Amino acid sequence: MKTIIEPFKIKVVEPIRMTTREERFEYLKAAGYNVFKLRSDDVLIDLLTDSGTSAMSSQQWAGVMRGDEAYAGSPSFFRFEDAVQDIFGFDHVIPTHQGRAAERILFSTVCQPGHVVPNNTHFDTTRANIEASGAKAVDLPVPEGLVPSDPRPFKGNMDVEKLKALISEVGAGAIPLCMLTITNNTGGGQPVSMKNIREVSEVCRGKGIPLYIDACRFAENAYFIKLREEGYQDMDVKEIVQEIFSHADGCTMSAKKDGLANIGGFLATNDERLARREKDLLILTEGYPTYGGMAGRDLEAIAVGLKEVLQEDYLEYRLASVRYLGEHISAEGVPIVQPPGGHAVYIDAAAFLPHVEPSDLPGQSIVVELYVEGGIRGVEVGTVMFGRQDPDTGEEIPAAMELVRLAMPRRVYTQSHVDYLVEVIVAVYRRRNAVGGFRFAYQAPALRHFTAEFEPLYDVGS
Ligand SMILES: Cc1ncc(COP(=O)(O)O)c(C=O)c1O
């Protein structure tokens, strides 16, 4: 059959509520035009993030009931640990309440001022946690990763020559670890090829630099390898995942993505001495090492989710549903990062609103207009999220790309929701010439996109 269907049926439903255009104007104004500050009840289709928003399966809910809440030595932990070790192959598994807690424990253990951490592209919390330790986070994406219209298959790759040059420049001793984010969220949800993972690993191992993988979307990345990279078509996704992680020395993971869970994460390593230091810190801030920051029921949900996410009918549907949205808006002329990513479609805001300067935050305008038009919540991934203010002049230093991310929660929306999305996005695109820019009315010194407030420089919704 040509039609790729949702490989599940629905047992529990959650109503969503349409608001009027007038109501949405009011909600936006009260939120300082920052969609993070909206109440989710006032959002019809919520594409703010794919993180922690998955629908859990009946097996996961059964796991929730099985959860054992013993403080130490819970069987739920051992089921979680077995699932992680079986898939990722690392000796030491440290549970955390979400991905950034794993990042904080890792970086505050291995990084110090003067250190440099390369990555294909750091996610915002990864960068912030590295910088909080006094080290510097350096992005080394391949050049095509910064060209939204370039349709190459592995635009999430790291530029290996730039990695070698960085090591020569700062010295291997200043690089406590190298990271690879799969898929590359900030770079458009684009996958990293096995060839690139292997090459980066060889460079790192040659210099004694541990390679860590930010594993949030490991299954989506592995399925892209199966579909796009020669030699992997006949391999099981799980075997591909195992090969990926055989090239690494550890990983950080937010189970809120490809763990198909609503909360949780972990840090893993093969280095016993390091694991001991990390567990000491874990006890200080997260909890005892057999639960970390999670309840026993969360550990169970993740143990099941990690297995379900590797099912190929699920992955086929997952990538097809994101591609469906990308291809349909693209066919109507909406510029997006090509090819569509694994967990999200990224609108190229700079090409969508070429008349709005990056310093006037074009992505922010599109986010606001999608909410006004149809109650859709996306997120700006451009100058608001990754730019910064020049401390001397107060001018905005723009990000490398101006994107709007429409992240698809896993197993939540159906094809008719996506058809509605297409209609709304295309309607905003058709009236794009009347859309102007925004400026900051308030911004915090770090991770400013979460709490910022904005002022429109045009008549919103016109
Ligand atoms: C690539 C990547 N790394 C790390 C994180 C942080 O994970 P968490 O939100 O669970 O702290 C995220 C979350 O979106 C992510 O996308």
* Four-point Cα dihedral 57, 59, 63, 64, nearest 10: 30
Average pLDDT over residues 416-428: 98
Q: Is 346 helix (H, G, I), strand (E, B) or coil?
A: strand
By alpha-carbon position, which residue is closest to atom 13 of ligand 1? 51
| Mean pLDDT confidence for 80-85 | 98
> What six digits make up the tokens of 64?
């929730």
Return all residues near 24 (Cβ < 8 A) that are at least 6 apart.
Answer: 42, 371, 372, 375
- Entry field: residues in the chain: 462
136-185 pLDDT, tens digit per residue, is: 999 999 999 999 999 999 999 999 999 999 999 999 999 999 999 999 98
Return the pLDDT at 400.
87
**Whether the predicted model's global pTM rises above the 0.75 cut:** yes
Give the pLDDT confidence score for residue 433 in this predicted structure.
97
Judge whether residue 186 has pLDDT over 90.
no
pLDDT score, position 124: 86
Average pLDDT taken over every residue of the chain: 96
- Distance in angstroms (rounded) separating the CA atoms of residues 335 and 354: 11
Nearest alpha carbon, ligand 1 atom 6: 99
Reply yes or no on whether the pLDDT at 39 is more than 90.
Answer: yes
Q: How many CB atoms lie within 10 A of CB 91?
A: 12
What burial class does residue 52 get, using C-beta atoms within 10 Å of its C-beta: 0-12 exposed, 13-18 middle, 19+ buried? middle
Burial class (CB in 10 A: 0-12, 13-18, 19+), 243: middle
Strand locations in 233-277, DSSP E?
250-254, 265-269
**pLDDT, tens digit, 9 for 90 and up, residues 354-394:** 999 999 999 999 999 999 999 999 999 999 998 988 888 88
Q: Which atom of ligand 1 is nearest to the CA of 51?
A: 14
Ligand 1 nearest-atom number relative to CA 256: 10
Instruction: Specify the residue with its C-alpha closest to ligand 1, atom 8.
Output: 99
The confidence score (pLDDT) of residue 319 equals: 96
Distance of CA 33 to the CA centre of its chain: 23
CB 434 within 8 A of CB 462: yes
Out of 66-75, 100-109, 186-195, least confident range: 186-195
Q: Whose CA is nearest to atom 3 of ligand 1?
A: 123
Query: Which residue of 54, 125, 182 sits with most ligand 1 atoms within 8 Å of its CB, as the best mutation to test the pocket?
Result: 125
Ligand 1 residue neighbourhood (C-beta within 6 Å): 51, 98-100, 123, 125-126, 181, 185, 214, 216, 254, 256, 265
Of 47, 30, 33, 68, which Cα lies nearest the Cα of 294?
68
